Each structure stands twice: as C-alpha cells, then as structure tokens.
Amino acid sequence: MQDIADITPLVASLNPAQKEAVTAPPEHRLVLAGAGSGKTRVLVHRIAWLITVENVSPLSVLAVTFTNKAASEMRGRIEQLITVPIRSMWVGTFHGIAHRMLRLHWKEAGLVQNFQILDADDQVRLVKRVLKALDMSDEQWPPKAVTHWINAQKEEARRPQHMSDLGDYTQRQYVRVYTAYEEACTKSGVVDFAELLLRAFEITRDNPEIQAHYRRRFRHVLVDEFQDTNTLQYAWLKVLAGDTGTMFAVGDDDQSIYSWRGARVENMVRLEKDFPGTEVIRLEQNYRSTGTILKAANGLISKNTNRLGKNLWTDGGDGEQIQLYASYNEYDEAEFVANRARELLDGRCRYSDLAILYRSNAQSRVLEEILIRARIPYRIYGGLRFFERQEIKDALAYLRLLHNRDDDTSFERTVNTPARGIGATTMEKLREISRASGVSLWMAAKNASSQLGRSAGNMGQFLKLIDDLHAETRDLPLSKATELLIARTGLRDHYRKEKGEQAEARLENLDELISAARSFEVDPGAASAAENPDEPVLDPLTAFLTHAALESGEEQAGPGEDCVQLMTLHAAKGLEFPVVFIVGVENGLFPSARAIDEGNLEEERRLFYVGITRARRKLYLSYAEVRRVHGVEQIGAPSMFLKEVPAECVSETRPRAGILRPGFGAREPQSGYGGGYRGAGSGGGYGGSAAGRPLPRTVVAGSSGLGPGGFRLGQRVEHPKFGEGTILSFDGDGDRAQIEVKFRDAGTKRLVLGFANLRGL
C-alpha cells in the first residue's frame, strides 16, 4: 500500500527532507534548517499535517515564534493549507502568548485585571523616577543601563529577593533599584515586556492546576527560530511541554547571532538531553543561493567546533565566483561598491536588488557620502543615517556652539547633555529672560545667572566648559579638537554607561565622527577657490559643519521606493537579495576587536555565515588596507575569516602588494589567489610582490594546525610586558618567525618569536 505521505497533496511539493520532518510521528523533533531551506514552510506544513492527517485538534497546538510579522505569516499560511477553523489556535510570539495567558489568569499571577504593558520608553522613564526617589544620580546610574540590567535578570528568571549582592556595592545598588522598580510596577498595575514572560513562566511552574491545564491542552509545542531562545523562554517551553507534550523545534545553530540579547545557542543541544528520544532532521537543500556561495558558507562555518553540523547544497548551478576587492582605504572601498552598483544597474538589476552589509553602524558614513555623490538612492534599513544619529547630533551641537555662542538650538541640546542638573524649570526661566532681553540663551545665561536659583552654579560650569574648550581647541587640527571635545564634555563616558551593543555602536559612531573631521583639515574651500574664484573659502570647522548639515538634510529614499539597502549584518538576518556587498572584512572590524579580545570568534563567524547566505546570485567582499579609525589612519589585516573561505570560490578583482595578506588554502603557487595575493604588476607567484620576489607566507588565525614554536592560531598567550593576548597570525618559520598578537590592554603587536618570551595559556 502506498504511503499516505506520497499521496496527500499536502506534502506533494516538499523535498524528501522536508517531507520527513512534516510527516514524522508525533514525537520530539529538532529540525536543523539551514539558510534558505524552507523552514517556515516546514513548520506550517507540520501543523497542517498534525490537524488534517493525525487528527490533532487545533486547540492542542501551540506555535511560537519571535516577531508579530512571522506569527501573522504563519497563521495565514496555515489557513491556506487546511479548511478547519484555527481562530482558537494559539499561534504567536513569546510575548503575545504570555500576554494571552496572563489575561486569563491575572488573579493567579498577582496582577490587577486591567494591567497595562509598559513599552521600552515608558520602562526607562519609570526606572528614572525610581532612581530619583532613591536619590540615585542619573549620571552615576544611567536609566537605560539600569533598565537593561533589570531585563537581563528577568530573562534569567531572577527576582530581586532571591539575589545576593555578592558583597559588591554596585550589585547591591542594582538589586535595590530592581526591588523598588518592582514595587512601583505593582503599585501602578503595569508590567514590562520581560515581566510578561517571567510572570507567565512562574504561574506555569508554580501553580499545579494551571500547569496541569496547559499540559493537557498543548500536546504539540512547535517553535520557530529555536536558536534565538533565551534561558527564560527555554525554561517556559520545557515546563509547558512537561512529560506529556511533544516538542517540534526548528532552528539553525549556525545562524545564532544574538547572544548579546540573551539568546543561548546551547539550548539546541540541551533539547536533546531534556527531551529524551529527540530525533534530529537536517534541511540542507538551499533554494536561495548559488552553489559557489553555499560552498563558501559551508567552508567558513565548518571551522566552528560547537555546532550540530550540516552542509548546504543546491540543485541549481554554481554561479559566479565571489569577488574579493582589496581597497586602498574606506573611500576607495565605497567607490568600488558604487561603481559595481552602476554596472549592475545598467544591466537587469534594480536598486532594490542590491544590499550593502557592514559589521558596525559607523561604517555607513563613507558609504552614504559616496552613494549620494553617485546619485544612487539608498535607505538605511531599520536605522538612521549617520548624521541623524543621536550621539552625532549631540557632538555636532557642541561644535556649533563653539563656533557660534548665539546658536540657541545647539545651546538647548548641549546644556544638559550629559546631565548637569539643569532641568526643564531652569530652561523655561532662561527662555523667559532671553525673550524679555532680546538676547540669545547664551547671553541670557551669562548676564542673569543670579535669577537661575540653585541651577546657577551648574549653568556657570557649563558656560566655563564651552569657553575653556574654545581656548583649548583654537589651534588644534579639527579632528583633534573634535576628539578633545567629545572627551571633555563627557559624551564618551555618557554613552559608555549605556552598556551593551548599543553603547558600543554609539562609541564607534563618535570615533567615526573624528575620522570624518580629519578629512576637512585640508581646507576644501581654499583648494576649490584656486580653481574657481567665485567659490567661498571656508575654514575647516565651517566646512565640516556645513557638510554635516547638508548630509543630514539629504533624505533617504522613502519606504517602498526602489533603492539600495544599507544595513548591519545583524539586521540582515532573515532577508535575501540578488546581490550582496559585505564591506570592511578586516581583523578588528570583522571579527570585531572585542570578539578577538574575548576569544568569542564562533559567533562572529556565524555572523559572517549569515551575511554570505543573504546573497542569491552575486556576492562581493571587500576590505581596506588603510582605514581611518579614531581620526588616525591604521593599516589593517584582512579578516582571518577570509582564509576559511575555499580558495576556488573567490576571485580577486584588484590585487595589491605590500600589505599583510591571508593565505587562501593549500593551492599551487601559480594560482595567485591560493597562497596569498599577487602584487600589482607581479608575475603571479605565491604571494608575489610587485618586484616579483616572494613574500613570506602569512598564516591567519582560524586555520587548523600548529604554527612556529608549537603555538596555535587563536591561542591565548601571555607576554611578560604586554600581558594576555590572542595569536592572530604568523609570518615565517622558527625563532625568526614574526607573530602577531592582539593583547587585551596593549593592542596588536608584531613580535619576533625567538625574543617574545610568550607563554601559552
């Protein structure tokens, strides 16, 4: 008799692996779904199969995902597949499901019936009020950082009454705020997003009747994007499924890139231990990318050791090789992207077919500048343009105030940023004085300080700060003046206190502003005036501020318009494009310096894997030999990850000489690409120089095997002077070999191995 899986139209269009996952008996399953392998399709077909073939009631199905958009799409696709009404089926996000449960069991959860939900901004405002009530300074205890800490505790299922201060003053204060914050939420009848999950978990765990009810009801628990679950979400799912429910989890450990948000990729391994008998099914056929792109992605991700393992393939063609561009600097890199974009647009591509991906938000500035100049419409996906970002506008406001004390807009933006105890009441009084006297806010503050009450002293300190900065920066180059201003005004410390990924991004943006200022130190106006007498001559600061104003005034393409997409690699997850550019593939940038310092290369490698697998037809990778960082030009090494991409997948579009190069696999010297790079003008020998002489082979961290002295790439070592660090690369052999080490405190150093006195850790 023919198997039902072969005769039902429900699975007729599925490939064998998809069909196996969809039609498996109602037992625990972990579906490892590679990029572009149709994971959502499998999940919705699985639900439809359970209902139509296994005769499972829609009421006994719980389907959970991470975004409202994904939940809505899932529900819509299920409705298209089956005729049974599913309005009562629980399909939604973790927060949506938790909210639904708490509305039904508000009394057992210890909530008021009409409890309200705080959004992120409201939560920060409430924390700010709690800090004020506890007489804790906003400056010492930034509300956003405190909020982040509270949410992190909730995501680990920790309540303040169960936490020890560990004998640490800071921890004690955090617990104190957490306690007061919970009391304030209870008093106001509100819950935040993290509380929704924690409260739902607690009533399911601690209330036997509620636990038994949901275990009887939800016999089938299905979870999408399982690799992104955090500690609390996993614990809740485990309690809901218990010993009677079946777990069907779909995810990809190779695309787990959100550990900084609390995601725990190890949950995928725990699933097999916590749910005995879990069978793993791999979806490896990719319907998105060319064979070459998939081969590159497989080669790269295979270097990760802590993975469950799979190998993407396609029955489509190999397609074109990946193009690797070695640019001179970040402007050359951006010009390359713009020129390639023009060539593609002259063909059959639309603007929206192209995406430019980068590791750090700060990288967008130069790209934006060149795209505007090239008249290529673009949009920052899910973010602001460089000169529109809060920290950049803050720093520019200080520069404008140095330039013109009567700039009231800049005065208002800077006077209490960072917080200086100059509140709304003081500013309203100052505006009244300004209007009555017909002078600027600056002049009003100088002339009427006695009318400002208790804030007069703080205002005086602010005015003195600006005057002192003006004197100190008068003779400095613009980039040095900008750097000093950012430090002395407290902006850097202010944004550092936010902590986490956002704080790091803001600090990177401030560094990029210093780099942007550096390019105006040679007066552009004077140069143009020599050619055109009608062109005004501007001093560097005026020219820079004018440029920033005009750049921020240029509007991005609107939603729905045909335009190139710019975004971080994190933002690109879940998206796909015919053509993808990944820029800035350099050590210290990608992987990030922080990841190198902390030895956390596996998640960075997964992020690169995500970027590669966004491309459908064409993929371009690029790095800069010289990049301006913190206003200073630095020589960079190509990313250690480039060596891990199989050499046959990559073609150089413009080789260069004289800069540290990665070796790309064990290929013959005449390949040019295989053992390194051919220099411009070289005859093509192994890592040849422009003069045709062979360069020493450079081994880059991430490859396997031992290097000189028995050290391994990526190994932690200790130096008697520089302290602890991570080995990035080797040049040469024996005691005379040069070794490149990224030290935690001393930065990157190149040492002669025989004299380095390194000790392996």
Which residues does the annotation mark as catalytic?
Answer: 39-40, 224-225, 255, 614
Residue among 741, 676, 753, 677 at smallest CA distance from 709 = 753
Residue among 479, 487, 412 at smallest CA distance from 445 = 412
Q: What tokens does 470 get? A: 């003006």
- CA distances (Å), origin 621, targets 296, 333, 612, 641, 652: 12, 10, 9, 11, 9
Is residue 437 annotated as involved in ligand binding?
no
If DSSP codes are grouped into helix, strand and coil, which group holds residue 217? Answer: helix
Is residue 464 annotated as involved in ligand binding?
no
End-to-end CA distance of the chain: 63
CA 20/CA 18 separation, integer angstroms: 5
Is residue 188 annotated as involved in ligand binding?
no
| Dihedral over Cα of 357, 361, 362, 364: its sign | positive
Given a contact cutoff of 8 angstroms between Cβ atoms, the answer to whether 219 and 57 are in contact is: no
Please report where in the chains the tokens 């055109």 appear, as a residue: 532
Using omega within 30 degrees of 0 as the cis cutoff, is the peptide bond preceding 142 cis? Answer: no
CA 158/CA 459 separation, integer angstroms: 42
Is residue 450 annotated as involved in ligand binding?
no
- CA distances (Å), origin 393, targets 387, 388, 738: 7, 6, 44
Given a contact cutoff of 8 angstroms between Cβ atoms, the answer to whether 32 and 253 are in contact is: yes
If DSSP codes are grouped into helix, strand and coil, which group holds residue 581? Answer: strand
Is residue 33 annotated as involved in ligand binding?
yes
What would the DSSP string read from start to end of 590-652? TTBHHHHHHT-HHHHHHHHHHHHTTEEEEEEEEEESEEEETTEEEE-PBPGGGGGS-GGGEEE
Is residue 145 annotated as involved in ligand binding?
no
Q: Which residues is 701 bridged to in the sheet?
A: 703
The bridge status of strand 716-719 relative to strand 723-731 is antiparallel
If DSSP codes are grouped into helix, strand and coil, which group holds residue 677? Answer: coil
What would the DSSP string read from start to end of 475-538? TS-HHHHHHHHHHHTTHHHHHHTT-HHHHHHHHHHHHHHHHHHHTTSS-HHHHHHHH-TTSPP-
Is residue 729 annotated as involved in ligand binding?
no
Is residue 128 annotated as involved in ligand binding?
no
Residue stretches of the annotated binding site for ATP: 33-40
